Amino acid sequence: MSSTPEQRIALLRQSINQHNYHYYVLDDARVPDAEYDRLMRELQALESEHPLLISADSPTQRVGAEPLAAFKQVQHELPMLSLDNAFNADDMREFEKRLLSRLDEPQALSYVCEPKLDGIAISLLYKDGVLQRGATRGDGNVGEDITHNVRTIASIPLKLVGDDYPAILEVRGEIYMPKRSFEAYNERALAADEKPFANPRNAAAGTLRQLDPKIAAQRHLEMCCYGYGLITDSDGQPLQIADKHSEILKQCQRWGFRINPEMRVVSGVAACLEYHDYLLAKRPELSYDIDGIVFKVDDVELQKQLGFVSRAPRWAIAHKFPAEEEITRLLGVDFQVGRTGAITPVARLEPVFVGGVTVSNATLHNRDEIARLDVRINDTVIVRRAGDVIPKVVKVVLERRPDDASLIVFPESCPVCESPIERVEGEAISRCTGAAICGAQVKESIKHFASRKAMDVDGLGDKLVEQLVDEGLIKSVADLYTLEVEKLCTLERMAEKSANNLVAALEASKQTTFAKFLFSLGIREVGEATASNLAQHYGNLSALQQADVESLLSVADVGPVGAQHVYDFFHAPHSQELLESLQACGITWPDIKVKSEAELPLKGLTYVVTGSLETMDRSDAKQRLQDLGAKVAGSVSKKTHCVVAGPGAGSKLAKAQELGVEILDEKMFLSLLAQYQQ
């Protein structure tokens, strides 16, 4: 029996909401995106044919029509509280002691451990299962109504899942911008000459502050639930939905909210400290910024007994991580010359403790970045150090600019060899043109040549390379192999034993692999992976030397710029000399058997991998495609043949859909690999 439009609409909404739930809340997509899009298009078509059937909780109604004129104020039904902080293990032990001293009976306490998301606190109010209002925390009593923006966030249900929800449900949590979306946003902003955000938190706050919901709809925000406010039945009577905080969160997940997969319940403060160490180590890998951990007593009854002190609950604490951003002063700027002549301005800072270490240098990237930040010497600046990433200056505190702040002058000539500095049209980087006559470039290329992933000369560290060049013992990488024990012993602090060891290490380094040798040459755009792909593709040096740009372009990971650099390198007269002298020194490697066409079934095809895969990480997926001969690109274009998309895929997937590129979900991708028995 065929259904009425009304029934069909209800069915479509139900399945779209189900798919959303699996995708955004459980991270477990149930249908390929193409199928989801078909359902959405069918619903849109039916709703436009029958406008009277449109309801505010329909998944088509995420972006409201008109921008607001101003934000409305919202009085929170129950105040939104803040948290007391702990900064070390002693503070945490004090916290537990305080709890135990307040409880009637001595007991082992269970805590819920949750990442402290660095975003914007939010309250979401549902009446009879339908989203009514989204509001910011504001001062805890009065916030701002941002319903129009909240509705655009895909991980926030417009309608709750199931039918066992209370009449009134207020869910609380954090809205944040994932790191990858933040980076993508900033890349686009910079390309369009717009102002980037200093960090993901500012990006989330700036987005939610927009009056026009279309802006939030274009940016990728997410919401994670960590608590609740008012919950009542239809008579307005307060309801307790479970007796453990962790169980309440799990119930919220069943109703359609994302909860943090890192949430754990542990017993006692020692286990809390273990969780702290675990999450601190995991922090750089997480797809979102966190600034600590929130520990909460799990038992709701005990929470009630413990109560509140001023604006914070006694039963919870935020154990803060070392800040990733700090404020300090810019003392000066040095210009460093890299291996390829790239000039990097390096900020000399008043030392500051940030991201767990003391930082006194930070990168300013390039000339454009100095202009964009409008940074001057003596300015007060914000430095950021996240994980192992090189510290960088992200912002100037303009209000604190002193009268004697002076402009940073980018040099016209190399600070090391005085050759002119050149900037290629369209490139951000300025370079010293001195090449082999530039002491800095020579030193850096020798350091690179000797490094572990290149020729791996044991014991030849950066300091020793500088000493060898400064003392005139070597001028190029080939000179390394002419070093003799006697000469080395003339160096300060070089004993005979160390000199012998170095000569032996140089001798041992001569037996290498083709890939390592290629990488050691320091050709621009040829990193470790590209060197390995070139080696696999050509098998031996003379085949690579004869390759033209077109042939180079068919190698995995090699784009037009890289292909040109490789071609230019092998056609420059000094490179020929260098290669000959290195081989004359006795450097050898076994040639590689080049794979036959039959072993490369995906040859000539370009793939893009996006989102996260369950059975392997993206770099493995990329390697396996490359092993089958495919080229794996970083962005989707008309030249892309196929996109492998896992959950969390965003703009690349959208682009593929727009261009009609074939899309594989993980299951389909695995069967493709199985087909070729990978």
Q: Using CB under 6 A as the criterion, what x/- string covers residues 572-601 for binding ligand IVH?
A: ------------------------------
DSSP state of 587: -
Of positions 25, 92, 117, 347, contacts ligand IVH by CB under 6 A: 117
Q: How many Cβ atoms sit within 10 Å of the Cβ of residue 395?
A: 19
Q: Which candidate in 72, 97, 116, 304 is catalytic?
A: 116
Q: Which range touches ligand IVH (CB under 6 A), out of 24-32, 75-83, 352-360, 391-399?
A: 75-83
Size of the site for ligand IVH (CB under 6 A): 15
Nearer to ligand IVH, 293 or 534 (CB): 293
227 binds ligand IVH (CB under 6 A): yes
Instruction: Tell me the closest approach of the beta carbon of residue 495 to ligand IVH, in angstroms.
Output: 56
Nearer to ligand IVH, 118 or 326 (CB): 118
Three-class SS state of 305? helix
Structural contact between residues 662 and 645, judged by C-beta atoms closer than 8 angstroms: no
Q: Using CB under 6 A as the criterion, what x/- string covers residues 448-487 for binding ligand IVH?
A: ----------------------------------------
Of positions 13, 76, 116, 443, contacts ligand IVH by CB under 6 A: 116
Residue at shortest CB range from ligand IVH: 121
Q: Using CB under 6 A as the criterion, what x/- string covers residues 158-197 for binding ligand IVH?
A: ----------------x-----------------------
Q: How far is CA 409 from CA 333, 402, 413, 422, 433, in A?
A: 9, 18, 12, 15, 19
Nearer to ligand IVH, 174 or 222 (CB): 174
**Total residues belonging to the chain:** 678
Residue 128 CB partners (closer than 8 Å, separation 6+): 167
318 binds ligand IVH (CB under 6 A): yes
Q: How far is CA 346 from CA 330, 343, 363, 365, in A?
A: 10, 9, 5, 8
Token pair in block for residue 646: 């896992």
222 binds ligand IVH (CB under 6 A): no
Structural contact between residues 50 and 5, judged by C-beta atoms closer than 8 angstroms: yes
316 binds ligand IVH (CB under 6 A): yes
DSSP state of 140: S
Q: Which range touches ligand IVH (CB under 6 A), out of 30-38, 190-198, 311-319, 505-513?
A: 311-319
Residue written as token pair 């609409």: 9
Of positions 165, 182, 197, 226, contacts ligand IVH by CB under 6 A: 226
249 binds ligand IVH (CB under 6 A): no
Distance CA 297, CA 314 (A): 9
Structural contact between residues 485 and 500, judged by C-beta atoms closer than 8 angstroms: yes
- What are the backbone angles phi and psi of residue 146, rounded to the nearest 5°? -120, 35
Number of H helices, E strands in the chain: 24, 24
Cα atoms in the 13 Å half-sphere on the side-chain side of 636? 23
Question: Among 252, 325, 329, 321, which residue's Cα sits nearest to residue 291?
Answer: 321
Instruction: Tell me the closest approach of the beta carbon of residue 468 to ligand IVH, in angstroms.
Output: 53
Instruction: Tell me the closest approach of the beta carbon of residue 83 to ligand IVH, in angstroms.
Output: 4
82 binds ligand IVH (CB under 6 A): yes
Q: Which range touches ligand IVH (CB under 6 A), out of 113-121, 251-259, 490-498, 651-659?
A: 113-121
With b for 16 or more beta-carbon neighbours within 10 A and e for fewer, the 407-438 pattern comes to ebebeeebebbebebeeeeeeebbbbebbeeb
Distance CA 672, CA 628 (A): 11
Nearer to ligand IVH, 200 or 227 (CB): 227
208 binds ligand IVH (CB under 6 A): no
Question: Among 66, 20, 75, which residue's Cα sits nearest to residue 43?
Answer: 20
Instruction: Tell me the closest approach of the beta carbon of residue 102 to ligand IVH, in angstroms.
Output: 17
114 binds ligand IVH (CB under 6 A): yes
Nearer to ligand IVH, 116 or 376 (CB): 116
Instruction: Tell me the closest approach of the beta carbon of residue 174 to ligand IVH, in angstroms.
Output: 5
Nearer to ligand IVH, 81 or 211 (CB): 81
Three-class SS state of 422? strand
Instruction: Tell me the closest approach of the beta carbon of residue 183 to ligand IVH, in angstroms.
Output: 21
Q: Is 392 a catalytic residue?
A: no
Residues 270-309 that bind ligand IVH (CB under 6 A): 294
Distance CA 503, CA 458 (A): 10
The H or E element that residue 11 is part of is helix 5-20
- Residues forming beta bridges with residue 290, ordered by sequence position: 117
Residues 125-154 that bind ligand IVH (CB under 6 A): 137
200 binds ligand IVH (CB under 6 A): no
Nearer to ligand IVH, 82 or 476 (CB): 82
Residue written as token pair 């770099």: 619
Q: Would you please indicate which residues are annotated as catalytic (active-site) residues? A: 116
Binding stretches for ligand IVH (CB under 6 A): 81-83, 114, 116-117, 121, 137, 174, 226-227, 294, 313, 316, 318
